[in-house]
């Protein structure tokens, strides 16, 4: 399943890289940080902010995805025990709805 990357504008995430639960955050980061989304001049630029927690922190990893039109999706990856497939599914569901709306508007 592909993510509608063009509908995403911001991405915030905080995780402890030493915990196993941070895996989806790091993998999702790899899907968003592409040559098309990184340059600020690009139309599909995504503003990415990563906060890495210290090694002994037990805070569960979270991510916040901002979409075009101001919609925000916050996923508590650690508490819900999400995997990378679940994260992609949730994000692309919102993204596809936004894409559909935009196409209907013309």
Partner 1 sequence: MPPRLRLSSVRRQFPVCQYELQIARSASTAAPAVTPAAPIEQMRHSPAPVSRFPPTQPPSHRNPEYRRSQLLRSYTSLLRTSPLIVLFQHNNLKSMEWAAIRRELTNALKKVDDKIAAEGRTAPPLAPYIKIQTIQTSIFEVALRIVDYFKPSESSLALGRPPSAIDPVTQTSAELPAVSGSKDDPALTHDLSRTAHAAVKNLKGKHDLSTLLVGPVAVLSIPNVSPEHMKAALSILTPKEAGFPAPTRKANPDYHDPIVQNGLRKINLLAARVDNQVFDIDQTKWVGSIEGGMDGLRSQLVTALQSMSSSVASTLEGAGKSLYFTLESRRSVLEEEEKGPEGDKSESS
Give the binding site for partner 1 (CB under 8 A). 17-20, 23, 26-27, 29-30, 33-35, 38-39, 48, 50, 52, 54-55
* CA 98 vs CA 9, 41, 46, 103: distances in Å: 12, 23, 16, 9
The smaller minimum CB distance to partner 1, of residues 15 and 67, is found at: 15
In whole angstroms, the minimum distance from the beta carbon of 74 to partner 1 comes to 21
In whole angstroms, the minimum distance from the beta carbon of 77 to partner 1 comes to 13
Rounded to 5 degrees, φ, ψ at 10 are -130, 155
The smaller minimum CB distance to partner 1, of residues 34 and 74, is found at: 34
Q: Cα–Cα distance between 35 and 50 in angstroms, integer? A: 18
In whole angstroms, the minimum distance from the beta carbon of 63 to partner 1 comes to 14
Q: Cα–Cα distance between 86 and 70 in angstroms, integer? A: 22
């Amino acid at each position: 399943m592909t993510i509608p990357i063009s509908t995403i504008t911001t991405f915030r995430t905080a995780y402890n890289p030493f915990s196993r639960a941070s895996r989806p955050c790091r993998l999702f980061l790899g899907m968003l940080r592409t040559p098309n989304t990184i340059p600020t001049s690009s139309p599909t630029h995504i503003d990415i902010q990563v906060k890495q927690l210290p090694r002994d922190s037990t805070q569960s990893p979270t991510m916040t995805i901002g979409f075009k039109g101001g919609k925000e999706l916050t996923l508590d990856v650690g508490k819900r025990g999400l995997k990378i497939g679940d994260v992609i599914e949730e994000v692309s569901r919102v993204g596809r709805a936004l894409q559909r709306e935009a196409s209907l508007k013309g």
